Every structure is written in structure tokens, then in C-alpha cells.
Structure 1
Amino acid sequence: MEFLMLLAVLLCLVAGMRNDNIATVNHGPHWRVLRCNLTAEVLSRLGSLAPLHEEAAQALVADFSARVLGGGEVAVREPVTTAVFALAARLCFGDFVDDRHKSAMGRVIRDSIVLAGELNPRFDGSMLSKMANCRGFRRISALLDRQVELYLPLIAARRQARSQLCGGIIRPYVDTLLDLRVPDSNGAGRPLRDGELVGLVFEFLGTATGSTAACLEWTLAHLIDQPEVQDKLRREINAEADGGGMLSISSKSIRSGMPYLNAVVLESLRMHPPVPFIMRSAHGEGATAIGGATAVPVDGLSVRFDLGGIGRDGKSWTDPDKFRPERFLAGGEAEDVGPAPGPKEIRMMPFGAGHRHCPGVNMGMLHIKCFLAALLHGFDWAPAGDCSGGVDMTELDGFVKIMEQPLSARVTRRT
């Protein structure tokens, strides 16, 4: 959610555009209604989503199976991103989005993330920066126009078919937005406008896709680079399946019953938080503690937190640059550390912190673990080509932290 907030801020500063989604709307009644709706109607129903996760994981395994038939190397990013987006689109719009429309929406999300990442390092708010980035922001504006073209017909279709549940299980997110009433200036409730609906859909699809796909690629890269970790994780997955295949592993087990799977994902998030940094406002005593009494503007400070630096702080972590999932197991140095910051200390916060933290932490973790378990159960993963120096783990910081060299692997189907 953080990268979408930053994207919205850039658009506001340069293009004068506004996007009132959960990440950007002012904290208050409107924000609470939007966030509570997302949490209550979608994010809190993880136990009901098992069939949807199973179908999405099966589709990803089938995609990789088809790609490895001819042998050779397989590029990982594209099939992983496609599978993650397909699941997000299904949760958002339901079961009746055709593949062509889904593919077009996925391209818009990917292009928006990539373009925003290209612009962000160069943007400092100055007029020169605005002029230098004018062409890029015109491209972003065109992508936002394309979102309107793609999303509004689907939203209109859902207005006519709101009785149809996603997978027969859960109301699509768009249906909940169509029924929602947000506060207006008169104190009464009003329905969301089309522009607001488009912004909320973009937020849902973007946050559910970018960070999840990036984490999966990073995690697979480390498992390829450290085959002993891959083997240990596969043993846990196979033991949970007990010879019955992936379908015999319950969603509850994936959520809370497979400690090494959880540790592997947490270690990946510690080293490669999907969002490189977050911005927060500090006021009063907090601002004074950061900037000093004479350095604090009247309206407070904007503070940038380097999430990657926090996760690799040598004062908080032993061998912070080593991928060692065991640190998150019982008895390890981080056995009580999770994806969200604890009340006492902050040792990692890959999904942000404070009241603006990503509300979809638990769903994101579940998506990552479901896809990862299916890929490890279905395939052996080995380096592609000459990787005598190990997998290239060079990071590319944009709006999402991705691998500078997209991961390729030698993938072999397990029988």
C-alpha cells in the first residue's frame, strides 16, 4: 500500500490529481469507513479463501509445468506475477472476468509500478524536477485513464450481478464498495463516486500484486542459492501433505502450522522488504526528538524510514546479510518477531507501521506461503546457466524492491 500512497502524492504534486483511496485519504471518518470495509469484508475472512488459494496455486503449477516441458531455463517473474494478479482480480471482481480483460488490467498495474519506480528517485518536488518528469507523468496519467476504461465496465457489470459470490464463497471487493456509504459534508452517507471506485480498485489490485510477486521472486532466489534451505522447507511441506499432494494441506496449516515456511518468508521480507522506504509525519515531542527543538517546522516533520536498513541493522540482527530462516524459529534471536512491528521494539516492518500500515499483512503472508508451498512441492529449483558466484541478489529500488536481474531458474517437475 505504501508505494500507491507515494504514487498518489507524486501525481498530486505534479499533475494536480487526487486519489482518495485508503492509503491517501485524510485520517478521519472517511478513512475509517474505507479501511473497516476492506478489513471486515475481505481481509478478515482468510479461513474462507482456501478453495480460491488452491485453485490459484494449481494454475501457477500448471503454468510452470507447461513452461518446463521443453527443458532449459524458465523466467520466474512473469508467471508468478500473472498468477498473483489473477487471484487479486478474482477477489476484487468475482469469477467472470475474461482472460483478455484480466491480462490488460495486469499490464496496467505492472506498467504503473515500473513507471512510478523510474520517476520516484528523481523527484524532489522542485519545478526543475517537475519539468524533467513531465513526460513520465503524462505516461502515468495515460495509465490512469486506461484504468478507468478497464475498471468501470466491470464495476457496472457487478452492479447487475451482486448476488454472485466469488467462488461461491465470498463477496467480491467491488460489491462491498458499491454498497458502502461514506460520510459527506451534510453528515449523511453517500455512495462512492466512479473515480473513487477506480482508485480503490487500483489500490487493491496493486497492493495485492506488487509486494506479493516481489517477495516470491526474492524467496525463490534464496532457495535456489541455498539448496539446503530449499530441501529443509520441502521436507516440511511434504510432511504436511503426507503423500496426499498439495490439496491435502489445509489453509489453517499454511497460516499457522508450518513454522519453517513462515520463517523462510519472514527472512525474505526482512532482507528485501517489498517497499524500500515509507514516509511518516512527526509532530510535537516526536518531531523534536528527531529534528531538535530549533529545527522543527510549525507543521512538523516528514520522516523517511529505510525499511531495508532496519531489517539489516547489525545492532539488531546477527549476520544481517545472511539468509538464515532459523533465526525466526523457536529459540532463535527473532522467534517473537513477525511481519508487523511489536509494541516494544521495531526490528523489521516490511508492511509499514502505525495507523497507515498495510491492513492486508495477513492476507499477503497467506498468499505468499500458499504459492511458495505449491512451487516447492511441485518442482525442484536450481540455478540457471553459470551461477558459480551464486544468484545475483542485486536490488533495484523503485516503488517496489525487485531483483535488478530478473530471476531465471532450471525448474524440474517432481513426480
Structure 2
Amino acid sequence: MADLQENLILLLIWLASIILVGTFLTKTKTKVRLPPSPRALPIIGHLHLLNRIPHQAFHKLSNQYGPLMYLLFGSKRCVIVSSPEIAREFLKTYETSFLDRPRMSNADYLSYGTADFALAPYGPHWKFMKKLCMTELLGGQTLEHHLPIRCDELKRFLHLLYKKAKANEAVDVGAELITLTNNMISRMALRKRFSENEDDADKVRKIVKEMCELAGKGNVSEMIWFCKNLDLQGFGKRLKDVRDRYDTMMEKIMKEHEEARKKEMGDGIKDVLDILLDIYEDENSEIRMTRENIKAFIMNMFGAGTDTSAVTTEWGLSELINYPKVMAKARQEIDMVIGKNNIVEESDIVKLPYMQAIVKEILRLHPTGPLIARECTEECNIAGYDIPAKTRVYVNVWAIGRDSNHWENPLEFSPERFLIEEGSGNSQLDVRGQHFHFIPFGSGRRSCPGATLALKVVHTTLAAMIQCFEWKVGDGGDGTVDMEEGPGITLPRVHPLVCVPVARLKQFPPI
């Protein structure tokens, strides 16, 4: 009996050994084939290869390791995409596997645990919010209703510049553009113009700036698994402080809206908060919305709508100052179509093909979302390489816009590249993500829903600025502008654009 038991044990050990060896051989045969990668360091992986401006660091690495590259940020697996062909694979061919955003601890906290729209996981809530954005919140009818707001704010902005011009005073262009876009967004979203009270305006600007800054910073604690409960960079206190300030501000505004809604009668023009409160109060709504959902969505509007449009316009004016022939050609088009007695309006942009080409060229060189971030929800094979589930994907839009395989003289500012033939007004490329060497607003289901609004604001603001003013830089007024980028998720300039405006028009319409 003892011999039988001993033989049985030996048999089981032998069978287990065969199974283990078979499993090892199978795993060896099916070894994961990852994309090319630099040598990683223990614990930190490739974090040492990054700098203050990640898209530039990725671009340099891709020149050495190719358009699809594997990196480890601590224990987080990442792939970097730097060519239009591979971007198409991720964003179109295998789109359903890459519809989630990676959860970043800083942004996650600021958005009330991804209660927002921009970072929410792909699912029923996100689909509902996407439909709501396209039909109501950022749809054509709502944007048309809010057109008078944008016109009024642009006139106020131009009058401010006119006063500076008469006094021969320099203007921090970026700061004034942020005030302009902040006023537009706050009035469209909340029916509130913060800059009427300078203390409130300054408070809002600081909150938005700090939230964008913190959301864009990499948190080392989440990247190294055994540090996840540590606050190595001291973000915790700052995150809580800025979100508490934002929460207090939004609760006050929401309560004011709710009180006003009880008193108002009729079908007046609703702001974005009114539309969100309608859904919040509707017990039969397809998706029940919480107060956190509302605050997080408004946060998306401020974060994505204030800095981005302002920064794009600032880069645009910088390029035009450095390329005076392009500036002159744009002015000639505006003067011929609009004249010198009227100021350009949103409805005029369709008649200004060269101005449209200028904005496309700005977005090619200076995309305000230089990196598209996604996360793989299931293992897949792309370009012959295995992409494990939960891998973070970064599509380098900035690098793709400078790809010499798709752009002639890619570093040159040349709006003519977007015109099929001189004077035709037609463009080969649009900005909606169908052409993967030009995707400033992303592509597919998770492309930017605010693209239409952003284009209206940037086109009209930049056209009005060059129609109404000459722009002088430096002591003699004929200097050039440096084009160095600074750190941040919206591609800011490292040095503010400071100019003296000189009025071109004799009369400005009253506010």
C-alpha cells in the first residue's frame, strides 16, 4: 500500500513537471513581441529620457527607434506613435480597442473621479454626454444662439487694444486672449462675465491655470507601483486646495442658477449650465446626472476652451509677425472681401480661404493637444508588434505635423500648402481627423467635440487682430518673435508675446 502511494505521488510529480515544462515552452514560443525600445533602468524604466516637454523628447527618441516605440514609465507600459500610418491603425482600424483614456491620478482627482466627459471611460455615460455635446451643449443651434456673446466679447477685446494703441502701450497678447476666451466661455456656459469684477476674474483665471497645470504634470507616485500611496511631489495638498476652490465657486453659481430658474418663465436662451441642470432635474433622463458630473463638464469647457483657443491665436500672430509677406497677403484678402469700414465676423470666414489656410498651418505646427492619449482595453497586434492590454498609447500629433514624408519643408510656415491651387479657396485637408498626417483635434469617436467652437473663435479673433492693427515687436518695432515652446498640456509659448498695437482702422464700432 505504501509503495502504491509512493508511486502515485511520483506519477503526479512527473505529470506536473510535464505540464510546467509544456507551459514554459508554449510561453517561450508565444513570447510577446513588443515594439523597439531604448534600454530601461531598474524601477524608473525610461522616465530619465523625458524632459519638460514630452512630445519633443518622444520625437527625438522616435528618430532613433522608429515610429512605433515601447517605453516604461516606472511600471506603466506605454507605446509612442509618431507616423500617420501607424496612427491610423490605432485611431481607426483598431479604434474599438483604444477608446478609453488612461487614468492619471492628478486629472482623476480634479475631475471628481473621471465624472467629466473628456476623461470618462468609454461606456453609457460617455456616449450620452457625447450625444448631448453634439446635439445641444456644443451643437450648431446652441453656438448660433451664443453668437451675440462672442461678437460682444470680441468688440470689447478690440476696443481694449485700440486704447492701448492710442496710448502706445505694449500688450501681453496671450494674457489678453485668455481673458477674451475666458469671458466667452463663462458667458456661454454660466451666463456670467467674471472680468466685470477684477477680483473674481483673477480668481477664475488662477483656478483654471492651476488646474490645467496640475492635470498636465506626471505623477511619479502612480508610475512606480510601490510608491502609489506616497505623495513624492507634494501634489496632494495643491490638488485638494484648487478643487475645493473650484467646487465652492461652482456650487455658488449652480445655486444662483437654480434660484433664478424658479422665478423665470418662458423659453429664453439657455446657457450650458441650464441645459445640464434640466437633465439633472429630469427623473426620466436616460442617464442620471450628478452635481459632480455637471461641475466636471464645466471644468472641461474652461480647461479645453480657454487656454487652447488663446494659445492657438497667440502662436498664429507670432508666426504672422515673423512672416510679414503672409500677414500682408491675409490683410489684402480681408480688405478686399470685408473692406475697411466693417470688422470681420464669424459669417465672413467662409469667404476668406487664405485665412482658413493660415489657421490650418498654425494647427499643423502648434497643435494645442500635442499628444493624443488612449489606453488599450484588450491585447492586439499592430504593425507586427503585440500591444498588451492596459498599455497607454500616446500619438505624437506634434511630430506627425512635422513629418517630412508627408510635408514639404515641414518647419516652414506656409499656408499655401493647404490650397489646391492659387485662388481656388479649396483645401485638400480638413481638421476633422480623416487625414492622419493632420489630426489637430484627434480622430474618431473621441475626437474633440469643441472643434467647431474653437475654429470659430480662432479664425475670427486672429482675422480681426490683423485687420484692425499692425503689431510692433522690439525696441524699433520691427523685431522678430522667438518660437520656443514651454511646458504644458496646451503647448504654451515659453516667453509671452508682448507687442505694441498700431491701429489701421479710423473707426471702431461701439460696444
Out of 275, 288, 298, the residue aligned to residue 201 of structure 1 is 298
- Counterparts of 1:184-195 in structure 2, within 5 Å, are 189=286, 191-195=288-292
2:212 matched residue in structure 1: 113
Structure 2 SS opposite 1:412: strand
Structure 1 residue 68: Cα displacement: 3.4
Which protein has the larger Cα radius of gyration, Structure 1 or Structure 2?
A: 2
Q: Deviations over 1:6-26 (max 9, x none)?
A: 897232678996131111222
- 1:237 and 1:36 map into 2 onto residues whose CA distance is 36
Moved more, 11-20 or 305-314: 11-20
Unaligned runs of 5+ in 2: 1-99, 507-511
Distance 1:136 1:66, change over 3 A: farther
| 1:122-160 Cα shifts (integer Å, max 9, x gaps) | 676125587465423421221111111111111111123
Matched, 1:36 2:36: no
The answer to whether 1:335 aligns with 2:427 is yes
Residue 157 (structure 2) pairs with residue 60 (structure 1): yes
Q: Is 1:179 aligned to residue 274 of structure 2?
A: no
Q: Mean alpha-carbon deviation: is it higher for 130-139 or for 398-407?
A: 130-139
Q: Which amino acid aligns with 2:387?
A: V
How far residue 112 of structure 1 moved from its aligned partner, in angstroms, is 1.6
- Alignment of 1:273 with 2:367, yes or no, is yes
Residue 308 (structure 1) shift: 0.4
SS at 1:396 equivalent: coil
Cα 1:122–1:392 change in 2 (3 A) is farther
> Paired residue for 2:240?
141
Equivalent in the alignment of 2:87: none
Structure 1 residues 283 and 20, CA, compared in 2 at 3 Å: closer, same or farther?
closer
Aligned position for 1:258: 352
Distance 1:115 1:164, change over 3 A: farther
CA distance 1:122–1:398, change in 2 (3 Å): farther
Instruction: Tell me, yes or no, if the aligned pair for 1:75 and 1:406 is still in contact at 8 Å.
Output: yes
Structure-2 residue corresponding to 1:70: 167
Asked whether the 8 Å contact 2:369–2:440 carries over to 1, the reply is yes
Instruction: Determine the structure 2 residue equivalent to 1:373.
Output: 463
C-alpha contact 2:368 2:490 (8 A) present in aligned 1: yes
Which of residues 408, 411, 414 is equivalent to 2:498?
408
Q: 1:258-337 alignment to 2 at 5 Å? A: 258-282=352-376, 287-290=380-383, 292=385, 295-297=386-388, 299=389, 301-331=391-421, 335-337=427-429
CA distance in 1, matches of 2:251, 2:360: 37
Q: Identity of aligned pairs, percent?
A: 23
Q: Is the 8 A contact 1:30 1:182 kept in 2?
A: no
Greater alpha carbon shift after TM alignment, 203-212 vs 66-75: 66-75
Cα deviation 1:21-45 (Å, max 9, x = unaligned): 1112222221122122222223223
Letter in 1 for 2:328: D
8 A Cα contact 2:164 2:170, kept in partner: no
Give SS of 1:266's match.
Answer: helix
Q: What code does the residue aligned with 1:329 have?
A: L
Q: Which AA in structure 2 matches 1:385?
A: D
Change (3 A) 1:12 1:93: closer
- Higher mean alpha-carbon deviation, 405-414 vs 68-77, is at 68-77
Q: Compared with structure 1, are the counterparts of its residues 7 and 173 closer, same or farther at alpha carbon in structure 2 (3 Å cutoff)? A: farther
Moved more, 383-392 or 24-33: 383-392
How far did residue 374 of structure 1 move?
1.8
- State the alpha-carbon separation in 1 of the partners of residues 169 and 191 from structure 2: 36
* Partner amino acid, structure 2, of 1:149: T
The one-letter amino acid paired with 1:125 is M
Query: Shift of the alpha carbon at 1:182?
Result: 10
Q: Distance in 2 between matches of 1:68 and 1:198?
A: 39
| Separation (CA, whole Å) in 2 of partners of 1:59 and 1:15 | 32
- The AA in structure 1 aligned to 2:381 is T
SS of alignment partner, residue 68 of structure 1: helix
Displacement of 1:350 in angstroms is: 1.4
Q: Give me the TM-score of the superposition, normalised by structure 2.
A: 0.70
Q: Deviation per CA, 1:244-296: give whole Å up to 9, x if none.
A: 321xx453222x221111111110010010022111234668x311572xx43
In structure 1, the partner of 2:44 is none
For the structure 1 residues 335 and 189, does the alpha-carbon distance in structure 2 shift closer, same or farther, using more than 3 Å as the test? closer
* 89-98 or 364-373, which deviates more: 89-98
**SS of equivalent to 1:395:** coil
Q: Aligned with 1:341: secondary structure? A: coil
Q: Distance in 2 between matches of 1:211 and 1:133?
A: 30
Contact kept, 8 Å, 1:276 with 1:398, in 2: the verdict is no
Q: Is the 8 A contact 1:14 1:137 kept in 2?
A: no
Aligned to 1:153: 252
The Cα offsets for residues 160-215 of structure 1, whole Å up to 9 and x where unpaired, read as 334999xx97410000100115999xx97564222222111111111111110110
Q: How does 1:16-27 map to 2 (within 5 A)?
A: 18-27=113-122
Q: In the aligned structure 1, how far is the partner of 2:414 from the partner of 2:235? A: 40
Residue in 1 that maps onto 2:484:
394
Give me the CA root mean square deviation.
3.2
CA pair 7-158 structure 1, distance change in 2 beyond 3 A: farther
Q: Which residue of 2 aligns with 1:354?
A: 444
- SS of the residue 2:270 aligns to: coil
Q: Secondary structure of 2:300's partner?
A: helix
Paired with 1:182 and 1:394, the residues of 2 have a C-alpha distance of: 48
Q: What is the DSSP-based 3-state SS (H/G/I as helix, E as strand, rest coil) of the residue aligned with 2:394?
A: strand
Larger mean CA deviation between 192-201 and 263-272 belongs to 192-201
C-alpha separation in 2, matches of 1:261 and 1:121: 40
CA deviation map 1:57-87 (0-9, x unaligned)? 1111122223334324321111110011000
Hey, what's the Cα distance between the residues in 2 that align with 1:394 and 1:406? 10
Contact 1:380 1:412 in 2 (8 A): yes
Mapped pair 1:101 → 2:204: no
* Contact kept? 1:47, 1:251, Cα under 8 Å: no
1:244 aligns with 2:341: yes
